Structure 1
Amino acid sequence: MHNRYSRQQLFSPIGEKGQQLLQQKHVLIIGVGALGSASAEALVRAGIGKLTIIDRDYVEWSNLQRQQLYTEQDAQEKVPKVIAAKKRLQSINSELEINALILDASTEELQGLLKGVDLMIDATDNFDIRFMMNDIAQKYQIPWIYGSCVGSYGATYTIVPGITPCLHCLLKMMPNTGMTCDTVGIISPAVQIVAAYQVTEAFKILVGDEKARRKTYLTFDAWQNQHYEINVEKMRKEDCPSCGKNPTYPYLSYENQTKSEILCGRDAVQIRPPKPIQYNLGQLAVQLRPYGEIQKNLYLLSLQTPNYRFVIFQDGRVVIHGIQNIQEAKSIYHRLLG
């Protein structure tokens, strides 16, 4: 019919056989913001067989600086990201199947979407979902690729159940800076670097080139010209509750998930983290000051913005006043607190 994949097939690690394999594969991407946009476009151009994309948000003007699938019209009309993404992706490659789902990823919903999925790609903005993905990957033996970026910093790691340490094994190594794109910003090159690594690893897994798979946890700071690779092969733990000999998949249980509820009669949503977080309210006040008026005492911090009031208690519990939509409240929560 045409030779749209000819240059990719000339690359010998893929070749004609690898291209045929790609066209039989199903990839699930959770989140189609910056990382998800870049990864989805690369995979669609490469000719994978089926792509499922999940996101709970809509396109905003601040997305356009780095989220390559969206236009000014999408932002003006507040189009859900997965809808705008699917339209753009199908205009790039009409040959493949794209399943676009507007939803807030939960344990039940994700487990119901796994039939035929060969690989998952992390393009989320919070560790709640990442650890949920990690346990799902281990339970159903599906490889997945972690990725994150903020400022000029990025990190990525490829997880293959039964072979590599999982994200839970690496838990103590994971940074807990509290930084988010909404508090410290982000530059587009950091996104593109992480996505390039993620998609390359995806190709290796999908065509079955296990020898080429990167075995390290990779981090970089593009602005500071820094690049590190950490050998994590010996970090796999036999007693890991997610991937060890007797797994319990703790992040699939209700008690380990972020809880949210509408507070009756108060026009507010309360969000509680899975475990208490002892915030330094002084540091938090500095971090959030650009967003509105701050008030603080020994027990809580209040942030007043033009649209809502954000009250953070020292144990990590948050009440967002002026809102009754749980998904919108969770989106605000993760934007400001990571």
Structure 2
Amino acid sequence: MAYPAGRYSRQELFKPIGPAGQKEIRKKHAIIVGVGALGTHTSELLARAGVGKLTLIDRDYVEMSNLQRQHLFIEEDARKKWPKAEAAKEKLQLINKDVQISAIVAQADASLLENVVESADLLIDGTDNFETRFLMNDLAQKYRLPYLFGSCLGSFGMAFSIIPGVTPCLQCLLKKIPLQGQTCDTVGIIAPTVQMVTAHQGAEALKILSGNMNAVRKTYVSFDLWENEYLSLKTDALKESSCRSCGERPVYPFLDPELEMKVAVLCGRDTVQIRPAEQGDFPLEQIVRQWRSAGYEVGGNPFLVSVRKDGTRAVFFRDGRALIHGTSDPDTARKIYHSLVG
């Protein structure tokens, strides 16, 4: 039987999607928070797949160090320091002009995200910090919105499809699978790690957007491409009825303004103070080892640690509070903070 060679014909020939699934994809709206390594890959995949609408949210601009692993961006974007969301939108519109693309250059906080999630069908993680991920997790639970978590570092990556009411949420998962506070700035990353995570995210996105919810993977996946390791873990037992985000009486703690990371510009000092939502005994010794291994200049005393990175000095205290010197821009300070502690 002959098939017309239409734009999405090869995707429609895949029986689990078919013409009916393609029609569903064309109706759907996906939000991608973070348009860096993960976000550029997944946004390109969905634009080529013919998703109806994409909303791209990122506060950052393109840098030369991004080009090694972040699709869509070119050297000219880095030279111009073009906002990532806008640069990605420009390239995606050249790929598929029929996709409605909205670029938002801003910090993805609760007020911003709550204004866009109600019209969405899927929330995709492309961010680089758990402050934003926990916020996305709570929004997914509140609005019953599928959320595709993904993270990568070095040669290690992980992915998990969070379906409200069905799977554990991110809070439940990380209580049993704790993560170290490493970042790409301290241990690096190779591009195939990104591609592996986004292959998982992209496949799950196509299942959800085409209406194949029964096919969604319910296991947590992690891998190390360098060490040739792959793990798929059943997660049913990880769901906690007492969880404040997805339990029987959820309160969505990360949507509470009182629990947001506090960022304040210190008057007359060209310094921004950052106070994390949850303060406690910050693992300074462990993080100092990572910074020194990455070649950063580190000093301090029993009460605080000072680290120099890219011409900026940051001072961290044992409760997690930090002073970012050399800038009065809150977004720049957040970026430096997250690049150092994950």
Same fold (TM over 0.5): yes
Scaled by the length of structure 2, the TM-score of the pair is 0.96
Are residues 1:247 and 2:250 paired?
Answer: yes
Distance in 1 (alpha carbons) for counterparts of 2:288 and 2:146 = 39
Task: Tell me how far apart the structure 1 counterparts of residues 323 and 37 of structure 2 sit (CA, whole Å).
Answer: 28
Q: Does the CA contact (< 8 Å) of 1:48 and 1:96 recur in 2?
A: yes
Identity of aligned residues (%): 50
SS of alignment partner, residue 168 of structure 1:
helix
Letter matched to residue 330 of structure 1: R
What secondary structure does 1:45 align onto?
Answer: helix
Match of 2:331 among 327, 332, 338: 327
Residue in structure 1 matching 2:78, options 69, 75, 95: 75
Structure 2 distance, partners of 1:128, 1:66, is 23
1:281, 1:296 within 8 Å by CA — same for their partners in 2? no
Deviations 1:4-61 (A, max 9, x none): 1000100000000000000000000000100000000000000000000000000000
1:110-150 Cα distance to aligned partner (Å, 9 max, x none): 00112320000011101111111111111111111000000
Matched, 1:27 2:7: no
Alpha-carbon distance between aligned partners in 1 of 2:312 and 2:57, rounded to the nearest angstrom? 27
1:255 CA displacement: 2.8
Whole-angstrom CA distance in 2 between matches of 1:73 and 1:174: 40
In the alignment, does 2:202 pair up with 1:199?
yes
Match 1:298 to one of 277, 297, 302: 302
Contact 1:291–1:305 at 8 Å: present in 2 too?
Answer: no
* Structure-2 change in CA distance of 1:126 and 1:174 (3 Å): farther
Indicate if the aligned counterparts of 2:176 and 2:238 stay in contact, CA closer than 8 A.
no
* 1:120-139 alignment, distance < 5 Å: 120-139=123-142
Match of 2:315 in 1: 311
Amino acid in the other structure paired with 1:335: S
Residue 2 of structure 1, CA deviation: 6.6
Specify every segment of 5 or more residues in structure 1 that has no aligned partner in the other structure, as ranges.
Answer: none
- SS, match of residue 113 in structure 1: helix
Deviation at 1:241, TM superposition (A): 1.2
Structure 2, unmatched stretches of 5+, are none
Tell me the CA shift for residue 190 of structure 1: 0.4
* 1:81-118 Cα deviation digits (max 9, x unpaired): 01110010000000110000001000111001123200
CA distance in 1, matches of 2:219, 2:300: 42
Say whether 1:115 aligns with 2:115.
Answer: no
Deviates more, 1:60-69 or 1:289-298: 289-298
The reply on whether 1:187 has 2:190 as its aligned counterpart is yes
Query: What's the TM-score once normalised by structure 1's chain length?
Result: 0.97
The whole-number CA distance in structure 1 between the counterparts of 2:70 and 2:301 is 38
1:65 aligns with 2:73: no
Question: Aligned partner of 1:299: which letter?
Answer: F
Partners of 2:7 and 2:308 lie apart in 1 by 53
Deviates more, 1:140-149 or 1:299-308: 299-308
One-letter amino acid of the structure 1 residue matched with residue 286 of structure 2: Q
State the AA in 2 paired with 1:21: E
- In 2, Cα distance between equivalents of 1:126 and 1:59: 18
Over the aligned positions, Cα root-mean-square deviation in angstroms equals 1.3
Give the AA of the match of 2:157: G
User: 1:245: Cα distance to partner?
Assistant: 1.7
Structure 2 distance, partners of 1:9, 1:305, is 49
Distance 1:226 1:189 in 2: 14
Residue 146 (structure 2) aligns with:
143
Q: Which amino acid aligns with 1:74?
A: D
